[in-house]
Structure 1
Amino acid sequence: MAKPVATLESVSAAADALAASGVEPSLTLVQERTGGSYTTVKRHLEAWKAKRDDEAAAVDVPADVLARGSVLARELYGHALRMAEATVAQPLDRAVTALKKAEGLVATAEAEVARLEDAEQSQAGHIDRLEMQVRELELNAAAQQATLREKTEALARTESRLAELQAKHEESLEELAGLRASTKTTEALHGQLEAIQRGVQGLAGSSGRRTAGG
């Protein structure tokens, strides 16, 4: 089955709920609530954070407070910058290098996650197609079995009808043999009758001749 797709609305709702409970919305916590892919949740969460920062920056602050805050911020920044340059130049360079390396690793990991998600989606689609083909094969097999049963039943009826016709044919042959025997008997009787008739006619002719001569 395909993975759930995280939307900007669902990610924003999850992030708002976490922030309201006093928890900083992290990618892992939001993804646990919304589901969806790593890259999609990350993109929507970044959009939510940008919107939150914009809303925070839009707060009206009095001009004198801004001025004092600006002066104080510049002083603090300058002091921090000087301290950093004086004491942590090398660690900072190492940190920057490590950060760049980490960013590269994160980018590589994100690319790999995206590739794996694409592969997973492709495999899910392939599985769906295979399941559909299996269902089609099952339906075809069921239809073929039904057709086979119908043909088997039709064959059984045909064989039964053939047996009946063969039985009737044998009965007809027996009747024909009986008729032939009866015909032969009739012919024999007819021949005997003709012989008797000829005999009677011969006797009658002899009697007439005797009568005429006497």
Structure 2
Amino acid sequence: MRRQTITRDQVFEAADQIVDMGLNPTQNAIIRRVGGSFTTVGRYMEEWRRERRAANENPATVAPDQLLGAAKTFAEEIWGKALDLATARLSEDQRRLKAEQAVIDEDRVDMLNQVQDLEEVAATQEARITTLEQTIREAISETSVLQDKLARANERAGVAEARLADANRRIDELLESVVIANQRNAELLDALLPFRHRKPVGTNRRSHSK
């Protein structure tokens, strides 16, 4: 990341402000205020120190003690107000962080409860899946048994059908035999019918002799 380009006036102004607050204008302090690199800030700070030493060595530009005291007092007041403001902001930030932490803790508890509920639901679903798998295995086993029974029943039904066909064939043969026998009986009866009406030989002779 490239550092922000700063100017000579920015460095001078920042250094003067830090001095007015009663602090030492180090390069780190300048960089924290206006940015820049150590090389650029260091070069401008050397120039700022030369000009400041020259101003301090010139009697016409030396500030009176009263003015310096007032400036120091003003700087101390500014610094005190800055500290008070920083303390107030810190307290506000701490209060806000505590509130946010409370919300985070509450959300964390809710998330833990939801996770626990989900784990219970998952356990219940897993138990149901296990039961269903067992039921499916039993159903498959029963289906296999039923298929075996059905195959044997079909086999027995096939044998029964074959036997029934044989029995029907035998019945047909017997019926045909009965028909033939009936025809033969009818033929024999027809053949014997003339003999039933014929009188026996010798019957008339006995009657005449008497």
TM-score (normalizing by structure 1): 0.48
Mark the structure with the bigger radius of gyration.
Answer: 2
Q: Higher relative contact order by CA 8 Å / sep ≥ 6: 1 or 2?
A: 1
TM-score (normalizing by structure 2): 0.49
